[in-house]
Homo-oligomer: A and B are copies of this chain.
Amino acid sequence: MSTNQAKKSEAKRLHILDTSFTLVLHKGFVGVGLQEILKNCGIPKGSFYHYFESKEAFGCELLQHYINDYQQRLNLLWANNDTAKAKILSYFQKWIEDPEQQESWADRCLIVKLAAEVADLSEDMRLIMDQGTKNLIQRITDLIHQGMEDHSIQTQTNPAAVAQVIYQMWLGAALLSKLHKDKTPLHQAYHATAFMLSGCQSS
């Protein structure tokens, strides 16, 4: 394959992943048939199998693509001299609202949407989500350590446990927010996060 062909092929693969994202985000993984993906991307069936060997392989790449993009968004968001606490809070503020996008990070979260549905269905997809969430919790843990050094964060518990509790509280908040069709759970999570990072002192 020439370099030009390889570039075109990669662009097509990304096009399929990008255009399928919204479909899967709203209908789930099982709920979206291959036919619907093909129609949505405007590609023939054979072409799909040129890029992905199965629907599960497509699901794995969709998740990995989402996680890579998420990491890059975090890099951008945190590329400043804010305190560690401000960085953590600005991240979760995006879960509530993202002025640059129509939907918030909670609304666009593929982990929230697919975790329960897919964990029992595909071991390969579960492992990608498992690693993605562990990396994210590690990044929050690192920020909590930094916050204890820059004095923006006080905590009586160990940073890894705080990061895990905060992240799972947000996962549940996003789930409840979907059920209630109301952002109150996310706002409650925001207040609880600020409270926990202040050593449980009201600020």
Q: Does A65 contact B (CB under 8 A)?
A: no
Q: How far is the CB of A55 from chain B (nearest CB, A)?
A: 13
Q: 1/0 per position for A164-203, CB-CB distance to B under 8 A?
A: 1101111111011011110011001101100100001010
Is there contact, CB below 8 Å, between B180 and A164?
Answer: no
Considering only CB atoms, which chain B residue lies closest to A28 in the complex?
B117
Q: List 24 A-B contacts (CB under 8 A).
A: A28-B30, A112-B175, A115-B116, A115-B175, A115-B178, A115-B179, A116-B116, A116-B178, A117-B117, A119-B178, A119-B179, A126-B179, A130-B179, A133-B180, A134-B180, A167-B172, A168-B169, A168-B185, A169-B169, A169-B172, A170-B172, A171-B172, A171-B175, A172-B175
CA A185 to CA B161, docked complex, whole Å? 9
In the complex with contacts A31-B117, A121-B28, A168-B173 CB distance below 8 A: yes
Considering only CB atoms, which chain B residue lies closest to A123 in the complex?
B181
Copies in the complex: 2
CA A34 to CA B176, docked complex, whole Å? 28
Is there contact, CB below 8 Å, between B175 and A120?
Answer: no
Q: How far is the CB of A132 from chain B (nearest CB, A)?
A: 9
By a CB distance below 8 angstroms, the chain B residues around A191 are 161
CA A26 to CA B119, docked complex, whole Å? 9
By a CB distance below 8 angstroms, the chain B residues around A119 are 178-179
CA A181 to CA B134, docked complex, whole Å? 12
Is there contact, CB below 8 Å, between B188 and A168?
Answer: yes
Q: Knowing that A28-B28, A119-B179, A133-B180 are A-B contacts, what are 13 other residue pairs whose CB atoms are under 8 Å apart, sorted by A's residue number?
A: A27-B121, A31-B121, A116-B178, A119-B178, A126-B179, A126-B181, A129-B179, A157-B195, A161-B188, A161-B191, A165-B188, A167-B172, A168-B188
By a CB distance below 8 angstroms, the chain B residues around A161 are 188, 191
